[in-house]
Chain A
Amino acid sequence: MAGQGFQIDLFIKILPELLRGAAITVQLTAFSVAIGTLIGLFAGMARISHYKIFNLPSAFYVEVIRGTPLLVQIMIVYYGLPALGFNLDQYTSGILALSINSGAYIAEIFKAGIKSIKKGQTEASISLGLNYMQTMRYVILPQATRNILPALGNEFIALLKDSSLVSVIAISELLRRGMIVYSRTYDAWTPLLGVALIYLCITIPLSRAVQFIEKRWEIHD
């Protein structure tokens, strides 16, 4: 059956298997974006701090992560950490690498978001006696988060696609499942096009949702 192009019947047969992979892809991405957002929030705040002990390490982290390939980062975490005595399973390694990676990008998003809030907001808040952390928590971040939701959504989409890279450490996510089908059937077209199709089915509604949020909040300002 090899070399006959896309075969619907094979696709239907392998669809449940691919969908199980897609579920893992979405799961990996969701965990990583959640952890990455936490990392990004603090790294972003550190980045705009006036104190060098905060902003220098943060700048270093962001530069290193954004300046090296995600694939290399994944491999360092999975193959490198055990050498230091940390033995993580593939799934944990995958989430760790993806989180650290997205954290750097999200830090830049938070940095821009916080900077987009007018100085008068901070001044009004501290004039009322609120301290820096309270000002961040109650005044600046709620507004900044609203502004950066579209960017965070796009980061989520980007990471969802990039998560296919963890297939190299044998996590049974979407691409890996497609590759397994390929090696079993020697049909490349059907599983790989199927994989691409499923990615699209996830990313298109997501980017529509991001656009929707963007428009809705535009009106309100």
Chain B
Amino acid sequence: MIRDERGAAAIEFPLAVAFLLIPVAYLVLMVAPWSARANMARLAAAEAARAIVLSPTADPDDALVYTLVDTIAANHDIPVGDVDADLCVTDGMTDVEKAAATCDVLVRGSVVTVEVTVRIPLVRVPSIGETGGFSWTWSHSELVDQFRSFDP
């Protein structure tokens, strides 16, 4: 018996597009922002640590560094609320201590470490919203130059 398959494409095509092509393409597109946000955290941590060790005075302005991190987040179209920076953290600090840590006085030859945490949404639909997610933290350390001077 020969079955008549005329008209099958009219059903198969929308089904294949709706349940196969678009979901797979969406999954591929969804992974790119994860990488973009991780890269932003890496860059922000590096720039923040660098800004601290390049401070003209021995007492770096933390507010300027936070502003720099916010600017980098904005440059990457990431909401500022999704980014958190902990300045001048040291090994063994708890999360609470890291959040309260400030950069007091720079010492030549010391190491300054900055941690930047960014929230990465699991599923994000542009113009609609996002759900789920996880956080990713990048740490970067810079050495305060041994022979640098400080403004009085």
- Are A and B a genuine interacting pair, yes or no? no
